[in-house]
């Protein structure tokens, strides 16, 4: 037994010495090493590191012809196949300086923290920090703009998609476009030119000293195309969508964390804002909760741990202005009148866009989308019926979809006319009541 203990102690002390020597030699090597390492983690304290994404894209596109491992993807049906370098280590040369990139992942494969590590000789320090990194990030951003697959993120825990920090994400494949969006053509033009001005507004926002962001409020009855318009905006600008589910957020600080984890060139959406926030008290509503039956202290505790109106205003104006750029925030509502004026005042929500019942102009777009016709003898009848009937584009679209079931154009339009006539009678009846 004594012998056993002596051997154990001997090995333990030897091991300690070895690890001490190891640590000491690491210090010496680091001290004298001619190499410098710069790390670019994907997230820093939940904040998304924009440089990481740009570097990732740059390295993915770098010297594909020399790569041994490639990843192929078709980001959109309309776009070609995109090949990406799929190697953890990449070498690069810039103005005579040799650098090595390595992608290091810690933790589990799926949720691990990823970091790009850049190693180079100390001699190249000035070139690397002075211009190379800037070059890589700018190149990455411009490649990303051309080939980007738009993503849809949500903070809703019930969706079990691919996670990336606080958000869950999937590829965004909605086919909506402004061309197929049925709305008044002049309103459509107005929205499109506002988006263009925003997209090209970098210098303008800098000049006036305002954060590069814009808020849109989409309002109108159900089925008038609010969600469709968000998809059309995302496709038009090629921005990611962050679908923010307020009811899944426990506090204002969680809301801030989510915000700082969003990337630039993105649209943050809160749908049906009137349903997720009680705007009279500023407390978030929760199904089945009856606050009036709770004691005061409990009420206070609860309201402190929830998203409040002021938390939401801060989200739009406060920190939001300070982090990231090129952000669009969109609220949708079916009940404009229920919203607190503070939330929707111009400056916060820069443009209020009404999506209204189907006009004849909007119908013509739907007829083109679904039936591929520009005119038809029944159009006159549809036009006069639409003038007197409040019907959502979604209901009109539903009638026209029948074409897919091999019902001919005439049959579809006759069906639509009949349903519009029924609807008109119903609405007249209600008015008389
Ligand atoms: N303006 C429109 N242009 C083209 N299609 C439309 C339009 N409005 C509705 N649709 C069709 O109706 C469906 C439902 O519309 P959408 O979800 O965009 O309406 P919404 O206003 O967001 O409704 P809700 O308020 O109920 O969320 C869409 O999938 C689309 O096919």
Give the phi and the psi of residue 331 in degrees, each rounded to 5: -110, 145
Work out the percent of the chain whose per-residue pLDDT is above 70.
73
CA 278 to ligand 1 centroid distance, Å: 25
CA 247 to ligand 1 centroid distance, Å: 23
Cα-Cα-Cα-Cα dihedral of 201, 204, 208, 211, to 10°?
A: 20
Query: Once rounded to an integer, what is the mean pLDDT over residues 1-17?
Result: 62
CA 221 to ligand 1 centroid distance, Å: 10
CA 281 to ligand 1 centroid distance, Å: 31
CA 229 to ligand 1 centroid distance, Å: 8
Q: Which atom of ligand 1 is nearest to the CA of 182?
A: 3
Nearest CA to ligand 1 atom 10: 394
**Does the pLDDT of residue 280 top 50, yes or no?**
no
Task: List, for residues 75-123, the tens digit of each pLDDT value.
Answer: 555 556 666 666 678 888 999 999 999 988 876 655 567 889 999 999 9
- 308 Cβ closer than 6 Å to some ligand 1 atom: no
Q: What pLDDT, on a 0 to 100 scale, did the predictor assign at position 235?
A: 92
**Does the pLDDT of residue 352 top 70, yes or no?**
yes
Residues of the chain by 3-state class (helix, strand, coil), percent to 5: 50, 20, 30
Q: What pLDDT, on a 0 to 100 scale, did the predictor assign at position 390?
A: 93
Query: Once rounded to an integer, what is the mean pLDDT over residues 366-372?
Result: 91
Q: What is the ipTM of this complex?
A: 0.97
| pTM for this model (two decimals) | 0.70
Query: Once rounded to an integer, what is the mean pLDDT over residues 358-374?
Result: 92
In the chain the first and final C-alpha atoms are separated, in Å, by 101
Question: Distance between CA atoms of 44 and 242, rounded to whole angstroms?
Answer: 19
- 227 Cβ closer than 6 Å to some ligand 1 atom: yes
Ligand 1 pocket, mutate which of 394, 401, 402 (most atoms under 8 A from CB): 394
For the record, the structure tokens of 300 come out as 């206070």
Residue 378: its H or E element:
none
Q: Which atom of ligand 1 is nearest to the CA of 271?
A: 27
Q: Mean pLDDT in the chain? A: 80
Nearest CA to ligand 1 atom 26: 222
Task: List, for residues 172-212, the tens digit of each pLDDT value.
Answer: 888 899 999 999 999 999 999 999 999 999 889 888 888 88
Q: What pLDDT, on a 0 to 100 scale, did the predictor assign at position 21?
A: 60
- 282 Cβ closer than 6 Å to some ligand 1 atom: no
Question: Residue 281 — pLDDT band, cuts 50, 70, 90?
Answer: very low
- 267 Cβ closer than 6 Å to some ligand 1 atom: no
Q: What is the rounded radius of gyration, in angstroms, for the C-alpha atoms of the chain?
A: 29
Q: What pLDDT, on a 0 to 100 scale, did the predictor assign at position 79?
A: 56
Question: Distance between CA atoms of 252 and 314, rounded to whole angstroms?
Answer: 9
What is the number of other CB atoms lying within 10 angstroms of the CB of residue 215? 23
Domains of the chain: 31-147 (no CATH), 151-354 (3.40.50.300), 360-432 (no CATH)
- 222 Cβ closer than 6 Å to some ligand 1 atom: yes
CA 389 to ligand 1 centroid distance, Å: 18
3 state SS for 140-189? HHHHHHHHCCCEEEECCCCCCCEEECCEEEEECCCCCCCCCCCCCHHHHH
Q: Which atom of ligand 1 is nearest to the CA of 369?
A: 4
């Amino acid at each position: 037994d004594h012998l056993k203990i002596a051997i154990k102690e001997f090995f333990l002390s030897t091991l300690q010495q070895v690890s001490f020597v190891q640590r000491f030699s690491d210090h010496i090597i680091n001290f004298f090493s001619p190499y410098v390492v710069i790390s670019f983690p994907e997230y820093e304290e939940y904040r998304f590191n924009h440089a990481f994404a740009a570097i990732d894209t740059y390295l993915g596109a770098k010297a594909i012809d020399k790569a041994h491992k490639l990843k192929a993807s078709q980001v959109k049906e309309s776009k070609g196949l995109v090949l990406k370098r799929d190697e953890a280590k990449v070498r690069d040369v810039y103005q005579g300086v040799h650098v090595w990139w390595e992608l290091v992942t810690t933790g589990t494969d799926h949720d691990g923290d990823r970091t790009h590590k850049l190693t180079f000789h100390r001699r190249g320090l000035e070139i690397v920090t002075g211009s190379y990194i800037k070059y890589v990030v700018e190149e990455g951003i411009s490649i990303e703009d051309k080939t980007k697959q738009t993503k849809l993120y949500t903070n809703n825990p019930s969706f079990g998609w691919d996670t990336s920090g606080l958000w869950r994400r999937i590829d965004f494949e909605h086919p909506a476009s402004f061309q197929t969006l049925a709305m008044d053509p002049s309103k459509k033009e107005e929205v499109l030119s506002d988006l263009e001005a925003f997209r090209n507004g970098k210098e303008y926002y800098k000049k006036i000293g305002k954060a590069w962001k814009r808020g849109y409020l989409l309002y109108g009855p159900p089925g008038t195309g609010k969600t469709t318009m968000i998809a059309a905006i995302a496709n038009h600008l090629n921005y990611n969508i962050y679908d923010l589910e307020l009811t899944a957020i426990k506090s204002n600080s969680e809301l801030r964390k989510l915000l700082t984890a969003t990337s630039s060139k993105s649209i943050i959406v809160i749908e049906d804002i009137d349903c997720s926030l009680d705007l009279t008290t500023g407390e978030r509503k929760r199904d089945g909760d009856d606050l009036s039956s709770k004691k005061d202290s409990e009420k206070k505790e609860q309201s402190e741990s929830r998203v409040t109106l002021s938390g939401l205003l801060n989200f739009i104006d406060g920190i939001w202005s300070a982090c990231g750029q090129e952000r669009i925030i969109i609220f949708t509502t079916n009940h404009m009148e229920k919203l607190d004026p503070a939330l929707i005042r111009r400056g916060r929500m820069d443009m209020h866009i009404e999506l209204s019942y189907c006009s004849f102009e909007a119908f013509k777009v739907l007829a083109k989308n679904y039936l591929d016709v520009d005119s038809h003898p029944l159009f006159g009848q549809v036009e006069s019926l639409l003038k007197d009937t409040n019907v959502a584009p979604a209901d009109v679209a539903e009638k026209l979809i029948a074409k897919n079931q091999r019902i001919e154009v005439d049959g579809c339009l006759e069906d639509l006319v009949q349903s519009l006539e029924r609807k008109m009678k119903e609405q007249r009846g209600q008015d008389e009541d």
